[in-house]
Amino acid sequence: MTSQALRARRRFLHFGAALVAAPMLILSKKSVASTAARSLSFEHTHTGETLSLVYAVGDRYVSAALDSVRHFLRDFRNGATHAIDPGLLDQLNALAAATATRAPFQVISGYRSPATNEMLRRAGHGVATGSLHLQGQAIDIRLADVELTDLRDAALSLRAGGVGYYPSADSDFVHIDTGSVRRW
Task: Map residue 180 onto helix, strand or coil.
Answer: coil
What is the rounded average pLDDT of the residues 131-137? Answer: 98
Task: Map residue 150 onto helix, strand or coil.
Answer: helix
> What is the percent of the chain with per-residue pLDDT over 70, rounded to a whole number?
82
The candidate with the shortest Cα–Cα distance to 94, out of 167, 151, 162, is 151
Summary mean pLDDT of the chain? 88
What is the rounded average pLDDT of the residues 146-160? Answer: 98
pLDDT-derived band at 8, boundaries 50, 70, 90 = low
C-alpha distance from residue 149 to each of 43, 106, 130 (Å): 20, 15, 26
What is the rounded average pLDDT of the residues 115-144? Answer: 95
pLDDT-derived band at 32, boundaries 50, 70, 90 = very low
Residue type at position 44: H
For 42-78, write each residue's pLDDT tens digit.
Answer: 999 999 999 999 999 999 999 999 999 999 999 999 9
The yes-or-no verdict on residue 98 having pLDDT over 70 is: yes
For the chain, the straight-line distance linking the first and the last C-alpha, in angstroms and rounded, comes to 72
Q: Answer positive or negative: Cα dihedral of 52, 53, 58, 60.
A: negative
| Phi and psi, residue 106, nearest 5° | -85, 120
